[in-house]
Chains A and B, each alone.
Chain A
Amino acid sequence: SQQGEEDPQALSIQEGENATMNCSYKTSINNLQWYRQNSGRGLVHLILIRSNEREKHSGRLRVTLDTSKKSSSLLITASRAADTASYFCATDDIGGGADGLTFGKGTHLIIQP
């Protein structure tokens, strides 16, 4: 079943601006991950944040996790045209067994040149 829900569903910004996407989930998790998907391609792992972490950085990416609110945000700073893609959050649920991750429906990000 779908757990992660990204918000907004679509986002269009100018190149150079920052883009923020949010993810909410429903159950307790071991970790939360963000993936990027370019049009018609497979998903690429961006960053993983564990349940005992609050913030994590990787290059122009900043992820926050608030387990009390069951939410996460992905910030992309100084956006580039190449950042145009769909972004998915995925949770590794506690007690979810060996069935891997639960993905949200994604945020489609468009960077206008």
Chain B
Amino acid sequence: DVKVTQSSRYLVKRTGEKVFLECVQDMDHENMFWYRQDPGLGLRLIYFSYDVKMKEKGDIPEGYSVSREKKERFSLILESASTNQTSMYLCASSPNLGEQFFGPGTRLTVL
């Protein structure tokens, strides 16, 4: 089975802190994605990557950056966390831009 893991289930940070969210997949998928999920807004794509060292902006990239140094790992970085970045963050991977496999999510609270 495909497994996508995220470094933390719950995270509490202070405004202005630099935050790293890590995602690892074990199925050699080329494509990886970061979404945030907020009540009433569904899933919104932040960034995606279709290869090592490649990254593309999604719908809401402002305030975020990403890193993909290895195929299995895709990191989301909040350079200076703000309260409006309090959200559920979901990572996904996909072999073929069809079905996506999701991690369990990280619920981030920024105080």
Interface residues of A (CB under 8 A from B): 1-2, 31, 33, 35, 40-45, 48, 88, 90, 92, 98-101, 103-106
Complex formed: what's the CA distance from A106 to B43 in Å?
9
Other contacts beyond A35-B102, A41-B104, A100-B33: 16, CB < 8 A: A33-B98, A33-B99, A41-B105, A42-B4, A42-B102, A42-B105, A43-B90, A43-B92, A45-B100, A98-B31, A99-B48, A99-B56, A99-B58, A100-B48, A105-B41, A106-B42
Chain B interface mostly helix, strand, loop or mixed?
strand
Give the size of the chain B interface in residues (CB under 8 angstroms): 29
- The number of A-B residue pairs with CB atoms under 8 Å apart is 61
The answer to whether the Cβ of B59 comes within 8 Å of any Cβ in the partner chain is yes
Selected from A43, A92, A99, the residue in CB contact (under 8 A) with B102 is A43
The answer to whether the Cβ of B50 comes within 8 Å of any Cβ in the partner chain is yes
Selected from B31, B41, B44, the residue in CB contact (under 8 A) with A100 is B31
